[in-house]
């Protein structure tokens, strides 16, 4: 199979990175994401995982891919897919009323990890493994700078988008 590539971008910050899908290691997840593209939404910066930005989307796969190529210690450049069912509705997580977590029963979290020392553990549920479905192969340094600006400068109004390249 020929390698497939996607772009990951932050609209307001004018930055884009290119990632290769892991069709070999995460074929179900890579196919689910590829088939749904383009997708995107409000960006959030991780509170617990450390160096992570993500967007929350309504479930988009005809069949959820299930666990494959999972990790709880993502490395810089990893793109991860998470499925959440209800847990994000807890007001302690700080999402605005009426935002994606309150609107949909099953949520997909598409995340980009941009730095080291990440650990996917949640105080309410424990370990939260994610499916690594792609790796950034171009533009990670600039993208990481923009992610740090999301952390320090604010996420409101910023859109994280994924598209076919």
Beta strands per DSSP E along 31-98: 39-42, 44-45, 52-58, 70-71, 78-85
Q: How far apart are CA 58 and CA 135, in angstroms?
A: 23
Classified by CATH at the fold level, domain 5-164 comes out as: Cyclophilin (2.40.100)
Q: Which of the two residues, 125 and 101, has the higher pLDDT score?
A: 125
CB atoms closer than 10 angstroms to residue 12: 15
Q: What is the pTM of this model?
A: 0.90
* The pLDDT value given to residue 159: 97
**Chain position carrying tokens 């009323």:** 97
Name which of 17-26, 83-92, 141-150 the model is least confident about: 83-92
Task: Give pLDDT tens digits for 67-123.
Answer: 999 999 999 999 999 998 765 555 555 555 555 444 557 889 999 999 999 999 987
* The pLDDT value given to residue 100: 46
Q: How far apart are CA 17 and CA 27, in angstroms?
A: 21
Is the model's pLDDT at 151 over the cut of 90?
yes
**Chain position carrying tokens 């605005």:** 96
Is the model's pLDDT at 147 over the cut of 50?
yes
User: Which of 45, 54, 51 has its CA nearest to residue 150?
Assistant: 45
CB atoms closer than 10 angstroms to residue 62: 7
């Amino acid at each position: 199979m020929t390698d497939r590539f996607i772009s990951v971008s932050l609209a307001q910050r004018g930055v884009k990175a290119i990632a290769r899908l892991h069709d070999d290691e995460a074929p179900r997840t890579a196919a689910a994401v590829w088939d749904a593209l383009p997708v995107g939404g409000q960006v959030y910066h991780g509170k617990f995982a450390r160096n992570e930005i993500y967007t929350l989307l309504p479930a988009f796969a005809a069949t959820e891919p299930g666990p494959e190529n999972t990790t709880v210690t993502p490395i810089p450049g990893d793109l991860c897919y998470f499925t959440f069912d209800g847990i994000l509705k807890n007001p302690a997580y700080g999402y605005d009323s009426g935002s994606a977590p309150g609107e949909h029963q099953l949520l997909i979290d598409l995340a980009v990890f941009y730095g080291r020392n990440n650990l996917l553990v949640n105080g309410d549920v424990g370990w939260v493994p994610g499916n690594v479905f792609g790796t950034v192969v171009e533009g990670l340094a600039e993208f990481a700078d923009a992610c740090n600006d999301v952390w320090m400068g604010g996420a409101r109004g910023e859109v994280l988008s994924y598209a076919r390249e």
